[in-house]
Amino acid sequence: MRLLFTPYTLKFKEPAGTSRGVMLEKPTWFLRLQDEHDPSHFGIGEAAYFPGLSPEDPEKYVYKIIELLANVALGRATDLSRHPSLQFGFEQAILDYTNGGTGIYYPTAFTRGERDITINGLVWMGSKEEMLRRVGEKLKEGFACVKLKIGAIDWESELDILKSIRNAYPSDSLMIRVDANGAFTMDNVFPRLKALADLGVHSIEQPVKAGTPELMAFVCRMSPVPVALDEELIGHFSAGSKERLLEEIMPRFIILKPALVGGFSGAKEWIDLAEKRGIGWWITSALESNVGLNALAQWTATFAPETPQGLGTGALYTNNTPSRLVLTGDRLRFDTATHRDVDFFNSLDWRQ
């Protein structure tokens, strides 16, 4: 068995605005696990490193990849417990290789084309005019749930956008989720949550910044809008640490990004712990390429979710990888009539 890797820079079609700044491109890493005697048999994974969010040290990242490559060649295990994006990518490569190297990570009714996944429409931050245009596009495409990134422009403009949406689409016809990415403070969080509740907003992700569990717990107890934890989950590597966080904060929901919380295995641990406490959850992509998004969608399908999932990032990039995922309205499905684009992956500059 041989593991290879290559860096890949994804380029956004439009600037992607968040409360942490604007992104024009995003680095990622592809892993290729192949048979030493038959290199045509290979599995692909994406180590979806996220600058500014991934807990891994960016200056040491490539050295951890090299360590992983060496250990695979020697048949030794590698401790990836503190490297969630690498765990995510390596799990994919193993699953793909084990299932024949065809891009099938989790064989289910989804990969047989018998089921699809409902997703929310993601609306990035921008000017008021840009956000209204993007919302209009999502609604025209047929989304019954939209998620708006808020916290980057002035609050009154964001509130006007939400009011415009709600005036046109009542709560029984459109679910609105918002993601503040920690942009609110103790001084303004409760008036803003009250305004969101008055508009029938379904939930808010990360209203205050991560790393302030006492404040977050207070917000969760008092908020008139259900609160979901997102960035707050990052950096909790052990089951004990995860349990303590959930017990202290007790959110209504948690948002799972396997690339940031320990791969599929780490995310499943979060799900098990949350369900024991009556905490809801859904799965969201973390700006992966179509490689990671494909694997993530297949894993999501194993749960047969009924609530909209956050898997709508496949069309963000000008140079995304080939995909067998097809989005029609708000339904994501797997195209069984196509096959993995082997030529694309063979054309990459693999290193070992």
Give the per-residue pLDDT at 128.
80
Cβ pair 300, 113 in contact under 8 A: no
pLDDT tens digits along 163-214: 988 988 888 889 999 999 999 999 999 999 999 999 999 999 999 999 999 9
Cα–Cα distance, 224 to 195 (Å, whole number): 9
How many CA atoms lie within 13 Å of 317's alpha carbon, on the beta-carbon side? 21
| Joined tokens for residue 277 | 């406490």
149 catalytic? Reply is yes
Which position among 147, 257, 268, 276 bears the catalytic label? 257
The CATH number of the structural domain formed by 117-334 is 3.20.20.120
Give 284's strand partners.
310
Give the type of residue at 226. Answer: P
Cα–Cα distance, 184 to 236 (Å, whole number): 23
Residues of the chain below pLDDT 70: 17-20
Cβ pair 340, 102 in contact under 8 A: yes
Beta strands in the chain (DSSP E): 2-18, 21-34, 42-47, 117-118, 121-123, 145-149, 175-179, 203-205, 227-229, 253-256, 280-283, 325-328, 331-334
pLDDT tens digits along 44-89: 999 999 998 999 999 999 999 999 999 999 999 999 999 999 999 9
Query: Domain boundaries in the chain?
Result: 2-103, 117-334
Give the per-residue pLDDT at 153.
80
| Joined tokens for residue 335 | 């195209």
Cα–Cα distance, 269 to 265 (Å, whole number): 6
**CATH class of the 2-103 domain in this structure:** alpha beta
Give the per-residue pLDDT at 320.
96
257 catalytic? Reply is yes
Pairing between β-strand 2-18 and β-strand 203-205 as defined by DSSP bridges: unpaired
Which position among 149, 163, 209, 276 bears the catalytic label? 149
pTM: 0.94
Cα–Cα distance, 121 to 329 (Å, whole number): 9
Give the per-residue pLDDT at 89.
98
Give the per-residue pLDDT at 275.
98
Give the per-residue pLDDT at 132.
83
Beta strands in 74-180 (DSSP E): 117-118, 121-123, 145-149, 175-179
